[in-house]
Chains A and B, each alone.
Chain A
Amino acid sequence: MSEIRSNVEKRRFRGVIVITGLSLFSLLYFGFLSPGKAKTTFGFVLNNEWVLIKEWIIASATGSKIFSGISLVASLLAILAYRKRIQVIVPVGVASFGILMSFITWAASGKFIPLTGLLQGALLLAVPLIFGSMSGLICERSGVINIAIEGQLLASAFVSGVVASLTHKTVWGLIAAPIAGAAISFLLATFAIKFSVDQVILGFVLNVLVIGLTDFLYKKLLVPYQNTWNTAPTFNKIELPILSKIPILGPIFFSQSIVVYIMFAIVASITYALFKTKWGLRTRAIGEHPTAADTVGIDVNKLRFKNVMIAGLVAGVGGAYYTVGSVGAFGKEMTAGAGFIALAALIFGKWSPIGAVFAALLFGFADNLQSTLTIIGVSIPSEFMLMVPYIATIIAVTGLVGRVRAPAADGIPYLRGGSH
């Protein structure tokens, strides 16, 4: 046991050292070696919220030095915290934020960065990732690996787009989408639980199946009969009174379409249900030790089946975001691998709801920062910016954020009385 513990600590120490190195690098590079020559402007106002500060202008080099300095101090605090054996997460978080801001101030020298817009866009890009990772979370906490998130998202995006087009009602699209997600879940559950098919392979095959089917139907129906089949209306933004007026937070959280509010509700209820209810305890039990759960009278496979179906409903709402929740019309393979990023967010977040949400937001932010910097014309090749979420995931899973462990029985079919 002590050996495992020391391994974890070694890895955590490595993480602290990496952060310190990056802080030093950003101070030297962005602050001194290659400083920005002009002023950077941060904008804070997006809609009609109350104005606290309109913009903040700072010389790029000075800003980089300040932010790098903050991160360097935070890194040193992290080293101290590590030595005193207390949690390092807060100083490491502050240090990472400092490095990021230092980079943005440097990269956007002479340009305007709409900070609130950047964050709002990040949340919007994270919406399907959050729905997807919640779907994966419910499945994997119950012991069923779900690689088919991509398929769930794509199928429900397709169905919600088509149903909303045919009925001319966004609400029918929103109702149909979870049913489509659940249909994919039904296949996943049936083959994984009833027929004990390998779940990684199964999820992969289901994705291929959904991609093939939606591509086929898209070309066969949606393109030739576009006017009837692919003109889905979209939900309007709902501005919550007063809340939407709060500077920065208002436009980001309280001036969104209904799908985003549903997401907040789903994340909150899953977090509560998983850790505070009987269902949550049982779900975690069948994911960690199904034999023990069975011994105390839980029908393992029945609960797994039920949970996989719930997961499909959740992912389905995420699929609806692609069509009725944002652009309306369905596009070929419009989820573009979001299901896999959602899976990565789940693992990055260590199979915890809050962790997965933060990971998804991080990916959304990286994605949006990339497009924002490309739009304002920053000289870093956009391809490298686009790689960032994936590189971050690799860094995460290779252990810089600590040990990542899946639920113990994840992916193992439960055969009553059999060895598993």
Chain B
Amino acid sequence: MRNSLVKFGQAIKLPGLSFGLAFTLTGLIIAFSDAKVLSKIGSPLTFIKSAVATAGNAYLALFQGSIFDINLTKGHNFFQGFYPLSETIVISTPLILTGLSVALAFKSGLFNIGAQGQFIFGAIGASYVGFHFHLPIVIHVIAAALAGMVLAAIWGGAVGLLKAKTGAHEVILTIMMNYIAGYFILWTLKTSQFLRPGRIDPIAPEVNQSARLPLLAGANLRIHAGIFIALAAAVFVWWLLTKTTIGYKFRSVGANSAASKTAGISVPFVLTATMAICGALAGLGGAVQVLGSEHALNADIAGSFGFDAITVALLGRAQPLGTVFAALLFGALHAGGRTMQSSTGVPLDIVLVTQALIVLFIAAPTFVRFVFRLKKINSSAGLTSKGWNG
């Protein structure tokens, strides 16, 4: 028992220190960019007090905007206080799916920066089937989500196929394809098929009621059934990677593609299949965003879900469970960031800084050890991607 506690402590020490360091640095930035704090620089004690208070207030607002806010319960039932938590989960749901897409690619030794583009195609496919067809209730949701997944799987799979056939690097391919997808959705929304009747701004018709994911906690909270889909996808990725032959092939190619080729694994097949599944996962994220919370395709549907997915997967160390937790954390940061911005005037964008710092420190365990003067223990290798020639 004691042994396992020590082990747990060891395992959590570095991530804990990384988080602490990231939040401390962010707090310093918040405090030192505040005019009121800076005006007190003459007297050190009040200066420190005011700096701590400013950062503390920002973090309190972050918590109130992401988990629970007692003020929201006044005049409503107690449940309404969890409105922020519902928002956190709504933002986390697509993040889990795009994060899984990036994580699965890492397992096959691929760096999938293309979740953004795949997300867009998932959203386009789901939206079209959602508003264009009239289908029975459960079948419609499934058909719409599948349409999105198939489109995104083709878009993602093309990356794997091109890499396998021509040796082009997936990082460059996916960066370029993100831009192409970004312009494609702008064009799509202008076509007569997608333009909502009576509107000139780029927004598609709302998907039919039968194609929407059910809400989980009444009409006041936005939380919808998509979170279960995301969790199921995480279980699927875990199952695929650890319990199936194809997942073994994925990991084998990720570990050493030359050896895998010698052992008779078809590397082109693995690359294409991985990227197709990654595409489907990110596409499902887009579908869930349309069918669950937005209900209509718009030009900004993808937000930064595809890019945040990379930090999510990196923080989750490309493990399905880790990715889920990382997505929940970043979802909370985003939801809370909005409240922080509106109630304390600290711009939401600071959340990006926190994200980047967390991932940077997690990816650089040697740096964190260096900062805290820790002894070098059997260093677990950090996440790596392959260089241009890999």
A, B co-complexed: yes
- Taken residue by residue from 405 to 418, chain A's Cβ proximity to chain B (1 for < 8 Å, 0 otherwise) reads as 11010111000000
* CB proximity of A133 to chain B, nearest CB, Å: 13
Q: Considering the chains assembled together, what is the distance between the CA atoms of A209 and B357 in angstroms? A: 7
Distance, CA A52 to CA B388, complexed state (A): 48
Residues in B whose Cβ lies below 8 Å from that of A205: 311, 314, 356, 359-360, 363
Residues of chain A within 8 A (CB-CB) of B20 are none
Chain B interface mostly helix, strand, loop or mixed? helix
Q: Which of A196, A343, A397 has the most CB of B within 10 A?
A: A397
Q: Does A221 lie at the interface of the complex (its beta carbon under 8 Å from any beta carbon of B)?
A: yes
**Contact A208/B355 with A196-B366, A198-B383, A344-B176 known, Cβ cut-off 8 Å:** yes
Task: Report whether A390 and B179 are in contact in the complex, using a CB–CB cutoff of 8 Å.
Answer: yes
Q: What are the residues of chain B within 8 A of A390 when measuring CB–CB?
A: 176-177, 179-180
With a cutoff of 8 Å between Cβ atoms, the chain A residues found around residue B307 in the complex are 208
B residues near A387, Cβ cutoff 8 Å: 179-180, 183-184
A410-B389 contact, Cβ under 8 Å, with A219-B349, A387-B183, A397-B168? yes
Interface contact A384-B183, CB-CB below 8 Å: yes
CB distance from A388 to the nearest CB of B (A): 10
Q: Could you mark each residue 171-193 of chain B with 1 if its beta carbon is under 8 Å from any beta carbon of chain A, else 0?
A: 11101110110011011001000
Contact of B387 among A206, A213, A381, A406 (CB under 8 A): A406
Which residues of B sit under 8 angstroms from A219, Cβ to Cβ? 347, 349
Q: Is the CB of B353 within 8 A of A213?
A: yes
Contact of A208 among B111, B186, B356 (CB under 8 A): B356
B window 18-38: CB within 8 A of A:
29, 33
Per DSSP, are chain A's interface residues mostly helix, strand or loop, or mixed? helix
A201-B363 contact given A145-B387, A344-B175, A410-B389, CB 8 Å threshold: yes
Tell yes or no: A119 within 8 A of B by CB: no
Interface string of A314-346 (1 = CB under 8 A from B): 000000000000000000000001001001100
- In the bound assembly, the distance between CA atoms of A17 and B233 in angstroms comes to 44
Query: What count of chain A residues pass the 8 Å CB interface test?
Result: 50
User: Is there a chain B Cβ closer than 8 Å to A268's Cβ?
Assistant: no
B72: Cβ under 8 A from any A Cβ: no
Q: Which residues of A contact B355 (CB under 8 A)?
A: 208, 212
Interface check B9, CB cutoff 8 A: no
**CB closest chain-A residue, reference B34:** A220
* CB proximity of A348 to chain B, nearest CB, Å: 9
Question: Is B169 interfacial (CB 8 A cutoff)?
Answer: yes
Pair A198/B349 contact, Cβ less than 8 Å: no
- Complex Cα distance, B163 from A394, in Å, reads 11
Among B162, B180, B311, which residue has the most Cβ atoms of chain A within 10 A? B180
Contact, CB under 8 Å: A197 / B364: yes
Contacts of B354 in A (CB 8 A): 212
User: Which residues of A lie under 8 Å from residue B311 when comparing CB positions?
Assistant: 205, 208
Which B residues have a C-beta under 8 Å from some C-beta of A? 29, 33, 111, 113, 162, 165-169, 171-173, 175-177, 179-180, 183-184, 186-187, 190, 307, 310-311, 314, 346-347, 349-357, 359-360, 363-364, 366-367, 370, 382-390
Residues of A within 8 A of B (CB): 140, 145, 147, 191, 195-202, 204-206, 208-209, 211-213, 215-217, 219-221, 337, 340, 343-344, 347, 381, 383-384, 386-387, 390-391, 393-394, 397-399, 404-406, 408, 410-412
Q: Would you give 13 A-B contacts (Cβ < 8 Å), ordered by A?
A: A140-B388, A200-B387, A204-B113, A205-B311, A205-B314, A216-B350, A383-B183, A398-B162, A398-B166, A399-B166, A408-B389, A411-B387, A412-B387
